[in-house]
Amino acid sequence: MWSKAPPPTAAEAARIEASKVGPCMACLSLVAQELLAPPLVVYGCDYNHAKSGNMRRGHAFGYALCVWHHRRHPMHRKTLGEMREIYGPSLMDGSRIFRETYGSDDELIEQQTAVIHLRQFA
């Protein structure tokens, strides 16, 4: 049985939209680890709602992921192998390897919050 989540509040909707236009949090994690050149960070993303168990934690608990990191869709006419070599694993490769590579949901949510704050004052 599926339950419909309530629609986002105005603040949650603003967070989602700000996240979607900004950079991918997994890409930024790779930049911080010096595994990806900053110009390769993807802007224009999906919003990944974090889960607890198999339930969404709510609209405020999410972060931006590019189509590669979120849905394993290759970009720029690259193969899956080329994408994985450049951008690392996708969430579709498994949550364990994803979190080992980029950080926990809570770390990525915190990073997203910081990025939104920084972009508001840039």
What is the value of pTM for the model shown?
0.90
One-letter amino acid for residue 79 of the chain: T
* Beta carbons within 8 Å of 119's beta carbon, 6+ residues apart: 18, 22
Selection from 38, 68, 33, 56 nearest residue 105 by Cα: 56
Residue 76: both structure tokens together = 């720029």
- What are 44-76's pLDDT values in tens digits? 999 999 987 777 778 889 999 999 999 999 998
Burial (Cβ within 10 Å: 0-12, 13-18, ≥19) of residue 101: middle
- What are 90-112's pLDDT values in tens digits? 999 999 999 999 999 999 999 99
CB 28 within 8 A of CB 74: no
CB 36 within 8 A of CB 24: no
- CA–CA separation, 5 and 36 (whole Å): 36
Cα-trace Rg, the chain: 14
% the chain with pLDDT above 70:
96
Domain chopping of the chain, boundaries: 10-120
Q: Class of 10-120 per CATH?
A: alpha beta
Label residue 1 by pLDDT band (50, 70, 90).
Answer: very low
